[in-house]
Structure 1
Amino acid sequence: MGDRAIRSGWLIRLAALLALLAPLPVLAWGSYGHETSAQIALANMSPQSRAQVTRLLRASPQLGTPGCALATLEDASTWPDCLRRDGWRWGYTFAWHYQTQPVCEAYDARKNCPGGNCVRAQIERSQRVLADESLPDAVRLEALAFLVHFVGDIHMPLHSGDDGDRGGNDRVVDYGIVPALNLHWIWDGPLAERAISSAQPALVRRYSASERAELGGGSIADWGRESWEIARDIVYPGAFGRQPCAGNLPDETALTQDAIVAALPIAERRVTQAGLRIAVMVDAAFAPGPLPRPTRD
């Protein structure tokens, strides 16, 4: 094989790699992160809840989204992102994925949620719809998919905290040898994927009662505050080498290997917490009797 062919093959492979890592707007955890949280949830919810999930999934053809798979809970965890291809139909849901607040201002769980159009409010609404046995299965399945996805979203730090940069989407960041990604996408994709694939023990498993108590709990507002604090204390300082509130951050930076390694246990924990908290919310929705009243902020 000639030098030209070798170079051509190498360039094709590099282009494919960069395409896989290319930034996409306002996603959380990417497919791998969301699906992992869904798998953790399945492993930790009750058998009765798993049976109800399986039953509701049979209603997926009634939702009229043949281009977006919805045959499993893993599919459900990414279904709301797949809807972005049909903005004319589903555009009203796009603001439901986040509730960003500046990391250099006091956190307020009620801010940036006009008319309930934010991730915190939509988690609560989706659980209530899922629990309502008077509703058609297709309506409850849609709520299940939103619930599973949005609990994943609220655990991604840059869906709660930002620095005037659309949750890091406007910060150009090199990730290892891959140049010119953005801070949001790095936490969505390559960093989360590395955290999941390198975790020991594996994240998808049945957790003990003590592990569930340590990793779970809290209100929906608490989960958003946790993510906001991580954005302020870990994400921005790790990427820029200083606190974001000490002055304007540059638009471009590079994430060092040390910063990547330091962030991995944070991403691992958030994906795990999302899965365990999904399980609790789904179990509560399918349990007999009324849902517990939501904690007000």
Structure 2
Amino acid sequence: MGSGTIRSRARHLIAALALALTAFIAVPAAAWGEFGHRTTADVALANVKPETRAAIARLLSYERQIGTPDCALRSLQDAAVWPDCVRREGWRWGFTAAWHYRTAPICEPYNARSNCSGGNCVTGQIERNQRILADESLPPNVRLEALTFLVHFIGDVHMPLHSGDKDDRGGNDRVTEYGIVPGLNLHSIWDSTLAERAITSARPSLIRRYDAAERAEIGGGDPAEWGRESWQLARDFVYPGAFDQDVCAGDLPKEAALSQEGIVAAIPISQRRIIQAGVRMAAMLDEAFAPGPLAVPERRE
């Protein structure tokens, strides 16, 4: 074998190893947000009625009619991450981007109707997609699409930085050096690293059947109230825990001062929000698949 061939093969091997290493490093950073959403779906499935579980399975059989072969839709766990997956096709799904959040300034009074023109925000779309899902006169593929948005957005609204904001796109513009990957922003920490630790460290597992008393304590409310809860957590815990100053006294630095102690203190909060999302998701799914028309609660301020 000639020296030129050996060098060529060596170059190809190095390139392949570099690509594999890049994929290995990149996947966890992208996957933990997916892990959190899939966990909320697991919690919901453990708490829905048997007939609701069967109705979900029937809708999922229409996956091919959605027309997204690169974004699987074979389970409720897939449905919980599908809205993030399809956003990669911006030409087709870009209009849904604003549906994933409804941020409100943490240093101003909370207004449940602001930043949601035409229902184009996470709380508005939770209500809209539950009504679509409940309407049996609509084609199954339309209802299946509504199912995916419903379960995903219930997860989104329970993450504090999808609701609270300090002129930084829900923490996306605040860099922190916490963790093994430098340069993660505050939003990513709460969406991924923290959620992963909260789920894997939970004893007992977050994924279980909750009894009636537990569901009454952690469930209830409507999407607007869930958004207010997240906004209040952002105001009272997330931002104060990431900056060593009064967060409403002026501008914040670009780099957050999030510590290991701050992460540990946040784990119970993250665990509770994941449980609440799953239990409330189960209740909304049971309502949507219950016989008869869906009772739409009066909008609250």
Cα distance change on mapping 1:137 and 1:15 into 2, 3 Å: closer
> Scaled by the length of structure 1, what TM-score is found?
0.91
Q: Judge which range, 225-234 or 237-246, deviates more.
A: 237-246
The residue that corresponds to 2:160 in the other structure is 157
The residue that corresponds to 1:292 in the other structure is 295
Of the three residues 204, 207, 214, the one matched with 2:207 is 204
CA shift, 1:268, in A, is 0.6
* 2:64 paired with 1:61: yes
Q: Judge which range, 148-157 or 233-242, deviates more.
A: 233-242
CA distance in 1, matches of 2:255, 2:280: 35
Quick check: 2:172–2:185 contact (8 Å CA) kept in 1? yes
The residue that corresponds to 1:90 in the other structure is 93
* 2:222 paired with 1:219: yes
* 2:194 paired with 1:187: no
Amino acid at match of 2:224: A
The residue that corresponds to 1:33 in the other structure is 36
Amino acid at match of 1:289: G
Residue deviations 1:74-109 (CA, integer Å, cap 9, x gap): 000000000111110111111100000110011111
* 3-state SS in 1 of match to 2:257: strand
* Cα RMSD, aligned residues only: 1.9
Structure 2 residues not aligned, in runs of 5+: 1-17
Amino acid at match of 2:58: R
Higher gyration radius (CA): 2
Residue deviations 1:43-96 (CA, integer Å, cap 9, x gap): 000000000000000001000000000000000000000011111011111110
Amino acid at match of 1:125: R
* 2:73 paired with 1:70: yes
Task: Specify which structure has the higher proportion of strand.
Answer: 1
The residue that corresponds to 1:255 in the other structure is 258
Q: Judge which range, 91-100 or 233-242, deviates more.
A: 233-242
Cα distance change on mapping 1:17 and 1:178 into 2, 3 Å: farther
Amino acid at match of 1:138: N
Quick check: 1:176–1:255 contact (8 Å CA) kept in 2? no
Q: Judge which range, 74-83 or 11-20, deviates more.
A: 11-20
Quick check: 1:18–1:178 contact (8 Å CA) kept in 2? no
The residue that corresponds to 2:137 in the other structure is 134
* 2:26 paired with 1:19: yes
Quick check: 1:219–1:295 contact (8 Å CA) kept in 2? no
CA distance in 2, matches of 1:18, 1:247: 37
Of the three residues 75, 85, 102, the one matched with 2:105 is 102
The residue that corresponds to 2:14 in the other structure is none
CA distance in 1, matches of 2:33, 2:240: 22
Residue deviations 1:225-265 (CA, integer Å, cap 9, x gap): 00000011111111113331122110013321110000001
Amino acid at match of 1:260: I
What are the equivalent positions in structure 2 for 1:232-251 lying under 5 Å apart? Answer: 232-251=235-254
The residue that corresponds to 2:273 in the other structure is 270
Could you tell me the percent identity over the aligned residues?
Answer: 65
Structure 1 residues not aligned, in runs of 5+: 1-10
Quick check: 1:169–1:184 contact (8 Å CA) kept in 2? yes
Quick check: 2:172–2:186 contact (8 Å CA) kept in 1? yes
Amino acid at match of 2:71: C
> Scaled by the length of structure 2, what TM-score is found?
0.90
CA distance in 1, matches of 2:297, 2:174: 36
Q: How many aligned positions are there?
A: 284
Of the three residues 279, 282, 285, the one matched with 2:285 is 282
Cα distance change on mapping 1:122 and 1:252 into 2, 3 Å: same
What are the equivalent positions in structure 2 for 1:142-153 lying under 5 Å apart? Answer: 142-153=145-156
Cα distance change on mapping 1:145 and 1:135 into 2, 3 Å: same
Cα distance change on mapping 1:296 and 1:49 into 2, 3 Å: same
Cα distance change on mapping 1:12 and 1:262 into 2, 3 Å: farther
